[in-house]
Structure 1
């Protein structure tokens, strides 16, 4: 069974297996070069040729046809249905005892730790989040602001943190639409809690949703407006500095994606890096802000600017082993793989992908760029590298 979005050429290569390309081409009646171009996605075979290839490979013609348009290369929605139902209010009825704010706080904090550290975090969230969403919403409805003002604010802080997590989960599972809903709910909860730091974190989360939706100007404006609001907020200095630094990184990403490399570098150098040096490594509001995270963004800027060699030079000085977030380590190593891919260093790309499989196999299976890099090594790499990449693709469900 192959992924529904796998292009025709990759399907042919998969089913050809160890059979020599020139032998299959000769039996079909086409040149080896033509079959090679088909497998690399440079040529689209006519239906009669596709039928002949399928017959020679011993599979139905339909097995070589992608179920979705090949250019998208995006895996199907992988959000757990139970999580989506609970978030949209269609979960099971709340007939369990009302959860106390302290208990909900412990469960949300635990879910966040799992989300940032577990190799099987998507599976873990499928088990934990549906009931946690339902219980938190039940508590929020029961403890209204008029009758229980203190408890209501406590629950709103918990609710904000829960929807921060949901924003991240839904974006990573391809539901940018619902990720926007989660970010909006988090912002409303933080405002109801009258919590300036969480309100800033909610705007940071909203900024990331806008980045995912390619709304770059909106992401930058929200982040910088939140920085200004933090300057006037009654927050202790380390928290203010760290959250402001994290928000500046949202603006850095927006500027880099707009190809304004100078502005991105200046903001990182003049705002994000000094803030990171001031507060040190941390994880304020689950943002993983600190010097290492700033360095990861520097790698991304140079990669986006097309200087893969400079990006790799910067990456050589980055050590992610102590980061509290496995996702940030995953993103960094994926960026390194992308740099090697630009330099056509297939052995290094493959090594990075294998390290990513060991670090976070579920993330590897859900990341479009990782899938693209696997297919690139299969098409372009030496036979040994191509075979290893194909085995990896099989393990994570691309084939």
Structure 2
């Protein structure tokens, strides 16, 4: 079934009514408006007056804004989210201020390098809040140290910390802060003189922009690695091909998708095994298969996506973040195939293993909304999931 694309108030009334497990007749009995009018509003044939909205909101025990405006998924209350991200923003702003005279203690360089790698692992394990709390101190100490004891290893560690800041900000739904973090990553990568890190930074930038800008960003990253045959360069080049496949899918260019996926598979074969240690990209054959599923979903070829998803067996070593993304994509494909119970089960599993990430994935929201519209009355488990994402 196609996902609902209309965003009129009646659409939201129907959505909230189903989440409340009410029929149109049962809701009409609770408001001073007729069943006929309710049906016309839900279908978009009649506008919803302020009085109608107020009456329905009261009957459903929801805030009127749930019916009149786009809802926003929030993993934490706004003040708690701000408490997490504000220190990261402040740490990013110190990038060009030189040594920090206010620091009374700075860890040795090897400890800072190790901490940067540890925070990357935390994000892959979807421990976003723990990483967010530790990031500001690490970035401040690394920024101070690269100005007092500059080395390629420290600049790489700082670039890694900025990349982690990007990942955390994006997963917590702060795309503007994610862009700032990527700018800082590019600044540090240039001083590290590491073309692989620079290419990764351009790949990450491409994921934040529309297709017209994404393509030249990724191809410029490929140009940085032209002719390089190290395992690191091959893995990053392969990931860039996966990025180009994603862009091509958004453009509905099936030929380009197939071309870039084939190139990525070739790189994975040359790398051998899973290169999870290369810039935390988790590049390898499994990642290529996950992108085959993702590009099929993007092109709305749900039969193909579902067939690939059902055939894929993730190894135990798959990072939690990748596993959760697979479960959500699988849930979306199952929903499109009409398997509501199975879809909800995969969503519940994704929520269990990676709640912070799962809550913010757009596919989670699309799947839950699709499940609501498949059901005349949403089961309790679906209603709970919808409330969890703020629907």
TM-score by length of 1: 0.82
- Map 1:235-246 onto structure 2 (within 5 A): 237-246=230-239
Of 49, 53, 57 in structure 2, the residue corresponding to residue 50 of structure 1 is 53
- Would the aligned equivalents of 2:88 and 2:165 in 1 still touch at CA under 8 Å? no
- CA-CA distance at 1:30 after TM superposition: 3.6
Partner residue, 1:393: 386
> Whose relative contact order is higher, 1 or 2, with alpha carbons under 8 Å and at least 6 apart?
2
- CA-CA distance at 1:360 after TM superposition: 0.9
Separation in 2, partners of 1:82, 1:57 = 39
Q: Deviation string for 1:217-243 (max 9, x for gaps)?
A: 43322323332332345xx63222212
Summarize the Cα distance change of 1:32–1:389 in structure 2 as closer, same or farther, 3 Å threshold.
farther
- Map 1:244-255 onto structure 2 (within 5 A): 244-255=237-248
- Would the aligned equivalents of 1:9 and 1:39 in 2 still touch at CA under 8 Å? yes
Of 4, 9, 13 in structure 2, the residue corresponding to residue 9 of structure 1 is 13
- Would the aligned equivalents of 2:92 and 2:184 in 1 still touch at CA under 8 Å? no
Of 95, 107, 124 in structure 1, the residue corresponding to residue 103 of structure 2 is 95
Separation in 2, partners of 1:334, 1:287 = 19
- CA-CA distance at 1:45 after TM superposition: 2.3
RMSD between aligned residues: 3.2
Of 346, 352, 363 in structure 1, the residue corresponding to residue 346 of structure 2 is 352
Q: Specify the SS of the correspondent of 2:314.
A: coil
TM-score by length of 2: 0.83
- Map 1:1-399 onto structure 2 (within 5 A): 8-9=12-13, 12-13=16-17, 17=20, 21-32=24-35, 34-35=37-38, 44-56=47-59, 63-66=63-66, 69-70=69-70, 75=74, 78=81, 80-89=85-94, 94-118=102-126, 121-143=127-149, 151-195=150-194, 199-214=195-210, 216-233=211-228, 237-269=230-262, 271-279=263-271, 280-283=273-276, 284-381=278-375, 383=377, 385-394=378-387, 396-398=388-390
Separation in 1, partners of 2:37, 2:128 = 41
Instruction: Report the count of equivalent residues.
Output: 372
- Would the aligned equivalents of 1:187 and 1:203 in 2 still touch at CA under 8 Å? no
Summarize the Cα distance change of 1:129–1:55 in structure 2 as closer, same or farther, 3 Å threshold.
closer
* Contiguous gaps of at least 5 residues in structure 1: 144-150
Q: Deviation string for 1:31-84 (max 9, x for gaps)?
A: 44654675688865222222333454567xxx22249832x7565985622222
Summarize the Cα distance change of 1:96–1:393 in structure 2 as closer, same or farther, 3 Å threshold.
farther
More off after superposition, 340-349 vs 84-93: 84-93
- CA-CA distance at 1:112 after TM superposition: 0.9
Summarize the Cα distance change of 1:366–1:278 in structure 2 as closer, same or farther, 3 Å threshold.
same
Separation in 1, partners of 2:182, 2:51 = 50
Separation in 1, partners of 2:66, 2:92 = 32
Q: Deviation string for 1:135-188 (max 9, x for gaps)?
A: 111112222xxxxxxx42221011111112122222222232332222222222
Separation in 2, partners of 1:85, 1:229 = 31
- Would the aligned equivalents of 2:17 and 2:27 in 1 still touch at CA under 8 Å? no
Separation in 1, partners of 2:233, 2:61 = 64
- Would the aligned equivalents of 1:74 and 1:368 in 2 still touch at CA under 8 Å? no
- Would the aligned equivalents of 2:198 and 2:221 in 1 still touch at CA under 8 Å? no
Separation in 1, partners of 2:386, 2:39 = 20
- CA-CA distance at 1:354 after TM superposition: 0.8
- Would the aligned equivalents of 2:332 and 2:366 in 1 still touch at CA under 8 Å? no
Q: Specify the SS of the correspondent of 2:274.
A: coil
* Contiguous gaps of at least 5 residues in structure 2: 1-6
Summarize the Cα distance change of 1:223–1:12 in structure 2 as closer, same or farther, 3 Å threshold.
closer
Separation in 2, partners of 1:346, 1:36 = 25
- CA-CA distance at 1:335 after TM superposition: 1.7
